[in-house]
Amino acid sequence: MPAAKALRDRPYMSTPLRIAVLASGRGSNFAALLAARERGELPVEFVLVASDKADAPVLQLAQGAGVPTTVLDPREYADRRAYDFALFDRIGASKPDLLVLAGFMRIIDGDALKPWAGRMINIHPSLLPKYRGLHTHRRALKAGDLEHGASVHFVTAELDGGPIIAQTTLPIEAGDDETTLATRLLPLEHQLLTAVVALLAANRLALVEQGIVFDHQPLRKPLRCVDGQLVR
Ligand code: GRF
């Protein structure tokens, strides 16, 4: 078994975890990370926010916080593969330890993301493995689920299919529609993502061939996020 690939070797107090965020839209998850950092709860440094959309509000958010931004327009590249290699080249130049996909609405080429295995996470608004892809709230409602939620997972070539680190759940209530469900879930997503990034910043999570290692023990099922705290 290969050794767990820690995100970094040195203790976090002296070296904040360097994070690049990829996002296509609003950026409320990034805002939650920024706010946690401001409160002194996340020992991280945001080295870049990258987007595929020049008008994504997340870019203004980043600029307002003094975080460098970059935009790559997919229309300027021959195909997805060319785009993704260019994107990750540019991201790599900012030397991040961790890549956080926070509402990045593109499928990524498997070869392009390979060098980032174990160093890239995504937040997805469903209880994976249920409802990979789009329209997760609609699909949970249509299926008559009693419970919905969000997951943070390591990114692999399989869309929304990488090893799941942690999940948050919420009950689906009578009368819920896509909007009410999404609105109630969003603050829970923010807590979930922040809590997982905090674990990574503290070097308590690693991805090895067999799966996720948490505090030196194999993680057999996703951590649960309860009131912002991750529990086994
Ligand atoms: C979130 O629901 C996230 O789970 C999904 O896209 C949405 C992004 O929201 N992947 P925001 O841009 O972070 O506000």
User: In this structure, what token pair is assigned to residue 33?
Assistant: 């990370």
Residue holding tokens 């919905």?
Answer: 148
What does DSSP say about strands 211-214 and 205-208: parallel, antiparallel, or unpaired? antiparallel
What does the alpha-carbon distance between residue 33 and residue 17 come to, in Å, rounded to a whole number?
13
Name the least confident of 10-19, 42-51, 192-201.
Answer: 10-19
Mean pLDDT, to the nearest integer, of 170-189? 98
- For the question of whether the overall pTM of this predicted structure is more than 0.85, the answer is yes
Active site residues: 124
**For 148-172, what is each residue's pLDDT tens digit?**
999 999 999 999 999 999 999 999 9
What does DSSP say about strands 17-22 and 98-101: parallel, antiparallel, or unpaired? parallel
Least Cα distance to 51 among 92, 106, 94, 95 occurs for 106
The rounded Å distance from CA 192 to ligand 1 centre is 12
Residue nearest to atom 7 of ligand 1 (CA): 103
- Alpha helices (H) along 39-145: 57-64, 80-93, 110-113, 136-142
Q: Report residue 15's pLDDT band, with 50, 70 and 90 as the boundaries.
A: confident
Determine the structural domain holding residue 59 and report its residue range: 2-231
pLDDT higher than 50, residue 1: no
pLDDT higher than 80, residue 232: yes
Q: Can you give the CATH number for the domain in which 56 is found?
A: 3.40.50.170
Output the ligand 1 site: residues, CB below 6 A: 23, 25-29, 102-103, 123-125, 150, 189
Mean pLDDT, to the nearest integer, of 90-114? 96
What does the alpha-carbon distance between residue 194 and residue 150 come to, in Å, rounded to a whole number?
13
The rounded Å distance from CA 1 to ligand 1 centre is 35
How high is the pLDDT of residue 141? 98
The rounded Å distance from CA 188 to ligand 1 centre is 11
How high is the pLDDT of residue 5? 55
Nearest atom of ligand 1 to the alpha carbon of 182: 2
Residue nearest to atom 8 of ligand 1 (CA): 103
The rounded Å distance from CA 27 to ligand 1 centre is 7
Residue nearest to atom 14 of ligand 1 (CA): 28
Nearest atom of ligand 1 to the alpha carbon of 27: 12
The count of domains in the chain is: 1
Give, for ligand 1, the residue of 29, 53, 137, 192 to mutate: max count of ligand atoms closer than 8 Å to Cβ.
Answer: 29
